[in-house]
Amino acid sequence: MNSLFPKTLIPSTSLSSSTRLTLTPNSLRHFKLHLPRLMSSDSSHRLFQLKLDPLTGNSEWVVIEDNDDLPDCSKEPLLATTSYLDMLNDSFRNKAFRSGIERTVTKPRHVLDIGAGTGLLSMMAARAMGLNGTVTACESYLPMAKLMRKVLHRNSMGKAISLINKRSDELEVGVDIPSRADVLVSEILDSELLGEGLIPTLQHAHDKLLVENPLTVPFRAVTYGQLVESTYLWKLHDLSGIEAKVSDGIHLVPTGSDSIIHVKSRQYPMHCDAIREEIKPLSEPFKIFEFDFWKRPESNGETKVQVQVIDDGNIHAVVSWWVLQLDREGTVFYSTAPRWINSPANIGYRDWCDHWKQCVWFFRGKGMSVSQGEEVLLEATHTETSVSYNLNVQVPKTDTRQHDHNIRDFQLLLSPERIAIYGDSKWRSSVLAAVRNALQGRVNPLCVVVDDSIFLTLLAANLSKTSHVLSLFPGLREKGAQYLENVVKANSFSMDRVEVREKRKPCLTLHDTHGKKVDMLIGEPYYYANEGMLPWQNLRFWKDRTLLDPILSEDALIMPCKGILKACAMSLPDLWSSRCCLGDVEGFAHSIVNTTLGACGELPAPKEGPFLPFSIWQCGEIKELSEIFTILEFDFSKPISSCHGTAQVKFIEGGTCHGFVLWVDWIMDTDNSIVISTGPEHRYWKQGVKLLSKPVAVGINGCNSNSEYGSTIVEALFEPSSSELILKHAFL
């Protein structure tokens, strides 16, 4: 079989060695967020952006200058991991803002657009005024401001709109803008509504930039909620309750220390429609907060809502969403409500999109037991950037775990998905079996846990009373050590057999291991705070194993032993629609942004859309079209090296193929009998998605017509020196 790669390889589709942080558009562009990884110099025309090498964990700052061209994005589109593209493909959003602006800006005025992005709202306002008014667009994120200039030029709007590359709190009337603005158009909203600085933005704008009683688009936002029961949501936060049902002798959450591991108290964005069958509503929807854009908001607010229970059950969470009223008259709306909510006809349902989801707030413990007809009191509080909830029952209840005050001084905050993995009995039994088998016959072994797995550390120390465990904890660091000290007694070992490396070094030496070579090098692999990355970026484990090669014993056991890169051709119409190339957006040309935003579709050769991490089960309509097939194998018994693989697979279902979904199966033992899969059927991991430039019609067992393909060849190359995974494909 001939290779799909040319002799001189051009990595047109790759995972860049410098993976940029994933941010929503407004968190990139808005002034109030104190972003730790984006810094501006004293000049507003220079920006420093953090770049991370996923295989080493090392990072570096790069400078983006204010010149005519955007930084080279031939390997990875600069803004591919933001939500700009998804947002611009949301036709419901675009039409709602257009209608709101056209109903509000009916004569020449001074319009201010904060967080202007590509300039879509600014151009809508300029058009609504017949290009006779004044539009000031404020865009603080330099790469976006540079892209906006190109969009304005393409649409002959450069003279009609004044673009200022500053934060909105840096604008001065008489210096940056000629006068206070009559109209504010802005879309600085996240799934929670407040997380991108809506309140401080409005406060400063009303104080310094807007006339009294200005016109605004949107006019108002209202948040709503619903009390629900859901075992799935419960498993995402109550490790203590889940672990009580597991009898493997490992106690991540010892009795009496329920809060030593838990999720951060915040709202979590989630596509709740994907778990509709696993959600039991326990109340009707209720109103929580109302925010008027046309007046100055308060920084903090509280409300109490008397909620009547409509069914027996346990209240595990609040599902929340918001509704925008775009115009003063109340004729134009946009809602993020889940589809099971009966929205009024004038609001309707939007298409699937990823930039705005519902939010979930977890109530601590196993939930509050309630009965139909009972009333509970929901207390909601908002700060400048977040909303929180507290639940109180109106009559005494025997279950008060949600009010547990037995909280230790130390708490380890983990993601909901990580807590669910640690509580999964099948996952735990598989890992336990792998470690137990690895320890058999070993006397006084030195075991190095190379990643951030507290579970593996406890296992290795618990299962062998003679082992010495050295945990590197590259992400957890001292938090990992403090956690172990708190759970050591409950897990029947002493800290004199467990050591956590305090300082990060380029590599361990025999000095660090007290002259003893490593008998076991293990990992899940799991790297703290990296759950949002592409699955093969956990090949950092292989890189770490290679760096430790000089201190491994001759018969050292490596776990996992192998990684298998798996793939499946899939129909992903909703995801593809949200990531496809832009043409005209409400009458304004946007094709110029496609490459920079990482679009799929009609891109100029040889450019293609990038790999992106998604939880496939949350991506709307999905369908597997091929068998699951292996592309590459990574052999961890040897030092890291380039890998190349080819697979030909037939389609088992007819339909439209939108791309390939990839993940890694981790082989935990040398017998290949214990496998930890991170594929789409396992909901706690993200997969990597490579969308096609153009959807392809496929058939079963050969072509059913001249327009259908019966199989595909997929070829992949992993190059560790550049951290790139390159994928090529051909349909047959």
Tally Cβ neighbours within 10 Å of residue 712.
22
What's the gap between Cα 694 and its chain centre? 25
Phi and psi angles of residue 226, each rounded to the nearest 5 degrees, phi first:
-150, 135
User: CA-to-CA distance for 317 and 32, rounded, in angstroms?
Assistant: 29
Strand, helix or coil for residue 188: coil
Beta-bridge partner residues of 334: 324
Please state, in angstroms and rounded to a whole number, the distance separating the CA atoms of residues 504 and 285: 50
CA–CA distance, 178 with 176 (Å, rounded to integer): 7
| 432, 252 Cβ separation under 8 angstroms | no
**Between β-strands 711-719 and 724-731, what pairing exists: parallel, antiparallel or unpaired?**
antiparallel
Q: Where are the alpha helices (DSSP H) in 105-172?
A: 120-128, 142-154
- CA-CA distance, 524 to 424, in Å (whole number)? 14
SS3 per-residue string spanning 540-553: HHHHHHHHCHHHEE
Distances (CA, A) of 629 to 22, 66, 257, 624: 29, 46, 44, 12
- In single-letter form, the type of residue at position 247 comes to S
Measured between alpha carbons, how far is 118 from 88 in angstroms, rounded to an integer? 9
290-320 CB burial, b ≥16 within 10 A, e <16: ebebbeebeeebeeeeebebbeebbbbbbbb
Report the alpha-carbon distance of residue 431 to residue 459 in Å, rounded: 9
Burial of 534 (0-12, 13-18, 19+ CB in 10 A): buried
Residues 6+ apart with CB under 8 A from 1: 646, 648, 713
- 3-state SS, residue 458: helix
Instruction: Compute the C-alpha angle 178/184/186, nearest 5°.
Output: 120
Instruction: Check: CB of residue 162 under 8 Å from CB of residue 136.
Output: yes
Distance CA 547, CA 57 (A): 13
Q: For residue 178, which amino acid is it?
A: P
- Of 688, 535, 531, 718, nearest to 612 by C-alpha is 688
The residue assigned the tokens 């009683």 is 213
The residues annotated with a catalytic role in the active site are: 187, 196
Please tell me the number of Cα atoms within 13 Å of 465 on its side-chain side: 1
φ, ψ (nearest 5 deg) of residue 672: 60, 25
Q: Which amino acid is at 281?
A: P
Dist. CA 452–CA 430, nearest whole Å: 18
Is residue 704 classed as helix, strand or coil in its secondary structure?
Answer: coil
Is residue 639 within 8 A of residue 546, CB to CB? The reply is: yes
d(CA 40, CA 61): 11
Beta-bridge partner residues of 449: 471, 522
- Whether residue 77 has a cis bond before it, omega within 30° of 0: no
Q: What is the DSSP letter of 582?
A: P
Q: What 3 state SS string does 327-381 have? A: CCCCCCEEECCCCCCCCCCCCCCCCCCCCCCEEEEECCCCCEEECCCCEEEEEEE
In the chain, helix, strand, coil percent, each to 5?
20, 30, 45
Only one residue has tokens 């770049």, namely: 51
